[in-house]
Amino acid sequence: MEQVLVCWLGNTDLRAQDESEKVGLGPIAQAASSDSYDRIFLLSNYTDFETVAYSNWLKKRTNAEIKIEYVELKSPTDFGEIYKATRKILQNIKSEHPKISLTFHLSPGTPAMAAVWIILSKTIFPANLIESSKDHGVKSVSFPFDIAADFIPELVRYSDNHLKKISLEAPPNAPEFSAIIHRSSVMQRTIKRAQKAALRSVPVLIEGESGTGKELFARAIHQAGPRKNKPFIPVNCGAIPAELVESELFGHEKGAFTGAEKKRIGYFEEAHGGTIFLDEIGELPLQAQVKLLRILQENEICRIGSNSPVQLDVRIIAATNKTLIEEINQQRFRTDLFYRLAVVVLKLPALRDRPGDLSLLIDSLMEKVNAESEVEPEYNHKKISANAKNILFNHPWPGNVRELLNTLRRLAIWSEHTVIAEDDVKDGLFPVVYPQSDKILDQPLEDGVDLPAIMGKVASHYLKRAIDLTGDNKSKAAKLLNLSSYQTLKNWMKKYDVQ
């Protein structure tokens, strides 16, 4: 098995070339001359001239093959930057030379570099650790603990909590429209309309299925508009208990009700000068809708327990996954509020209605998943095979982009290989559950439909209505149904068991 030494090039090593410095051989040359290595990998953030000069000097003092890995670091003490760079280099080394015994040298470089060697040797890349000094020579280093056993479970817990948080898919704080991944013409039109709306302060209503990116659009509109330096306050209307809606939105005075021990500023006052995003506005109780209408009309609120109005300057962006016109018909949403909110209406298309976007989204979101998981132990960047992508292309994605992103996260966790295969995707996709519906059209065909039963249901429905409407006058009923005669109507009634 080949013996490989990996180390950062340090300042003391560079000085060792000059005998007048009196630093001895320096840590790297000292280690190279004390043991027999087949290869030495020098990680260097110094200039090409300095690094090559040292490499040539070192070659005279060892028979090992010298390999240089240049690394650009903004700071030699930035732990995260050093960790990512070192991990990537070690992955490449292990890929090219699978049967090697690694040794990491702790002495050259900064303390942050030494800390990274310790962590990597105890987790992803098992290795021997050495240190050296001019006075004491080279010696092995051992630690009375196992990072993998003692610390990795806590790291994984942190990673899991982080993954749980981001799986809720809160968008970035200040996305621009260019951050919305798309190539389809339908999304291009929607974004152009949103860009025009962003320049004004009029209310915006965003409609779209769950997971289509309504909050992403809302934040982009805010950020692209004149209020971008003011607050953006997102509110999930469906998550507020009905009895607390007014207090949460409009605030309350001390003593306004039992439990109101101090004055509370509501979300609208917090958003003064900026934008309030009312997500799932269709869930607001009717009483709260009345107060919201007052804000749109008068630009003021009254806290619960107060008769003094508070003047506000707030832009309202509302979103819903319901069809508010249908909610109005069911008397669950106020007509006057709808028309106040619907100055600009953006209808976000479902993922299945965005031709050409799915492939682009899969590639981009897979990069996002890989970036999220870089610091996780033993994680390797994942790619998706062509056959696996074909399965993703044929999935209807009822949860839209959010479902796609969380599916890719799930596949990255479950897949044991760097390439996510067809079977991985089959195991990772949830079956599509279609809602039960009385609609005759658009019923799912995947498992087949009973066409004769559907036809019978339609016929029975209209036969009964025609008989009722005409007072059991079969001639008139036949005419209403465009049937040729009274006898034809009777035959239909008998066939479909209509009394």
343, with CB counted inside 10 A (0-12, 13-18, 19+), is middle
pLDDT in tens, 452-480: 888 888 888 888 888 877 777 888 888 88
pLDDT tens digits, 164-177: 666 665 555 545 78
DSSP characters over 114-154:
HHHHHHHHHTTS--EEEEEETTTEEEE---SS-HHHHTHHH
Q: Which residue has the higher pLDDT, 281 or 453?
A: 281
* pLDDT(360) > 50: yes
Class of domain 2-150: alpha beta
- Is residue 356 a contact partner of residue 326, using CB atoms and an 8 Å limit? no
Is the pLDDT at 149 greater than 60, yes or no?
Answer: no
What would the DSSP string read from start to end of 356-386? THHHHHHHHHHHHHHHHTTTSTT----EE-H
Angle between helices 152-167 and 357-372 (to 10 degrees): 150
User: Is the pLDDT score of 10 beyond 90?
Assistant: yes
- Strand-pair category, 300-301 with 344-347: unpaired
Q: How far apart are CA 99 and CA 454, in angstroms?
A: 66
Query: CA-to-CA distance for 315 and 200, rounded, in angstroms?
Result: 9
Residue 306, class by beta-carbon neighbours within 10 Å (0-12 exposed, 13-18 middle, 19+ buried)? middle
Tokens, residue 289: 């809708």
- For residue 355 the two structure tokens come to 């031709």
pLDDT of residue 146: 57
- Tell me what pLDDT residue 249 has: 94
The answer to whether 146 touches 194, Cβ cutoff 8 Å, is: no
pLDDT tens for 425-438 read: 999 998 876 555 55
Maximum C-alpha span of the chain: 119
- Interval 73-90 mean pLDDT: 91
Position 154 scores a pLDDT of 54
**CA 379/CA 160 separation, integer angstroms:** 14
Tell which wins on pLDDT, 147 or 3.
3
Cβ within 8 Å of residue 390, ≥6 positions away: none
Given this chain, do its domains 2-150 and 353-428 carry the same CATH topology? Answer: no
Which pLDDT score is estimated for 174? 43
The arithmetic mean of pLDDT across residues 80-98, rounded, is 90
Contacts of 145 (CB under 8 A, 6+ apart): none
Task: Specify the range with the lowest mean pLDDT, choosing from 48-52, 189-193, 355-359, 378-382.
Answer: 378-382
The per-residue pLDDT for 255 is 87
Query: Residues 203, 315: contact at Cβ < 8 Å?
Result: yes
| Section 40-50 average pLDDT | 94
Give the span between the Cα atoms of 304 and 259, in whole angstroms: 13
Mean of per-residue pLDDT scores for the chain: 87
Q: What would the two tokens of residue 89 be? A: 């280099």
Could you tell me how far CA 356 lies from the centroid of its own chain? 20
Using CA atoms, how far apart are residues 404 and 392, in angstroms rounded to an integer? Answer: 9
Residue 397, Cβ neighbours under 10 Å: how many? 22
Instruction: Please write the tens of the pLDDT for every residue from 179-237.
Output: 899 989 899 999 999 999 999 899 999 999 999 999 999 999 999 999 999 999 999 99
pLDDT for the residue 433: 66
Q: Report the CATH number of the 353-428 domain.
A: 1.10.8.60
Q: Give the tens place of pLDDT for each residue, 291-318.
A: 899 888 889 998 999 888 999 999 999 9
- Output the pLDDT for position 153: 56
Q: Give Rg (Cα) of the chain.
A: 34
Is the pLDDT higher at 352 or at 143? Answer: 352
Residue 82 tokens, joined: 């050093």
* Rounded-to-integer distance, Cα 64 and Cα 36, Å: 8
Rounded-to-integer distance, Cα 50 and Cα 70, Å = 12
d(CA 55, CA 67): 8
Question: In the chain, what are the domain boundaries?
Answer: 2-150, 185-348, 353-428, 451-495
Residue 265 has pLDDT above 80, yes or no: yes
Residue 420: its pLDDT value, please? 94
Phi, psi of 8 (to 5 degrees): -85, 145
239: Cβ contacts below 8 Å, ≥ 6 apart:
none
DSSP string, 203-231: -EEEE--TTS-HHHHHHHHHHHSTTTTS-
Least confident of 117-126, 169-178, 381-390: 169-178
With pLDDT > 90 as the criterion, what percentage of the chain qualifies? Answer: 53
Distances (CA, A) of 417 to 14, 272, 383, 455: 41, 51, 9, 51
Residues 6+ apart with CB under 8 A from 312: 268, 269, 271, 272, 295, 299, 300, 301
Is the Cβ–Cβ distance between 206 and 234 less than 8 Å? no
Task: Answer whether 0.85 is exceeded by the pTM.
Answer: no
Q: Average the pLDDT over 38-49 and give the result.
A: 94
Instruction: Enter the DSSP assignment of 279.
Output: E
- d(C-alpha 242, C-alpha 240), whole Å: 6
* Integer Cα distance of 228 and 298 in angstroms: 23
Task: Please tell me the predicted confidence (pLDDT) of residue 165.
Answer: 64
Q: Is the pLDDT of residue 243 over 60?
A: yes
pLDDT reading at 261 higher than 90:
no
CATH number of this structure's domain 185-348? 3.40.50.300
The pLDDT value recorded for residue 159 is: 59
Task: Read off the pLDDT of each residue in 395-419 and give the average, rounded to a whole number.
Answer: 92
Torsion of CA 44, 47, 50, 52, to 10 degrees: 70
